[in-house]
Amino acid sequence: MRRALDAAREATENALPNPRVGCVLLSPDGATLAVGAHHGAGTPHAEVEALSRAGAAARGATAVVTLEPCNHTGRTGPCSDALIAAGVARVVYAQGDPNPAASGGAARLRAAGVEVESGLLAAESEALNLAWTHAVRTGRPYVTWKLAATLDGRSAAADGTSRWITGPTARLDVQRLRAGCDAILVGTGTVITDDPRLTLRDEEDAPLPYGRQPLRVAMGERPIPDDARVRDAEAPFLHLVTRDVDAALAELAAREVRHVWLEGGPRLAGAFLGADRIDEVVAYVAPALLGAGTPALNGTGIGTIADAVRLDLTDVTQVGDDLRMTARVRKDSA
């Protein structure tokens, strides 16, 4: 199963709106016959890729899969039927499929006489597809709020300047993490004031080799100029003409957006936090002090320490001269 998880990780940084899945086929004596992985929407599922590589040797084999084989026809056919047709004798999977439209593969396999076991390294599989699992279970995208601030919590100086709070290593690290999402969301004010591209680019302004560019999203009621750089041909763009957080997320969910990378100003972040719609925070803290200027967060409605939103740190890493802290929001405190 660990090898299947590794295969899923190595296949792609981002399979969204689908999950990352790996599959290992084992012969009756435990030898590896084939390894498969899912590479993104429209490509074969991990089981199908492994079966095609194993050929006739798959008959009587054990399939070790990170996610319950699907039982529906979408862009591809049901993996449960493919495993049955190939003569696989046993299936061991980690995470059950939370998608009601695709679940039921285990029951289909058992009905066909295939031995099925579940739950092996299920937590690791869920961690691999944290945003996808959340989106499928809740019906809304997983939201990661990224912020960059000085040690005293300022996202811009008193005169409004903010380029650059963090160093080049941290900024390149942001691009890597952006690539793992399928939408980058900012407010219309950020688009109008800063005219950002919101694409994956390096310090020399060259596109980065991360595959497809995420959807660029501007949220707010102010009109976006026709010549704004977010409207260029480098990546798709969507203007959500609303200030309502849940309405915006519902529209993105309808477009199969699973993971939103939230950037922009402190008021937009405050609106999302106030609506309890931030799931994770990635904070880049620079060893610098401003003493005055724009705070990283505003407009949350929090007025007392008892109402503070508490976070659980999952990672603290020095990135160049800066510090990156990753934390998940405790939902009982938001």
- Binding site per annotation, positions for NADP(+): 148, 164, 190, 194, 265-271
- Token pair for 1: 């199963």
Active-site option among 10, 13, 47, 115 = 47
- Token pair for 186: 């900012």
Binding residue numbers for substrate: 162, 178, 198, 201, 263
Annotation marks residue 47 as catalytic: yes
What angle is formed at CA 124 by the lines to CA 118 and CA 125, rounded to 5 degrees?
60
Binding residue numbers: 45, 70, 79, 148, 162, 164, 178, 190, 194, 198, 201, 263, 265-271
Binding residue numbers for Zn(2+): 45, 70, 79
Which residues are known catalytic residues? 47
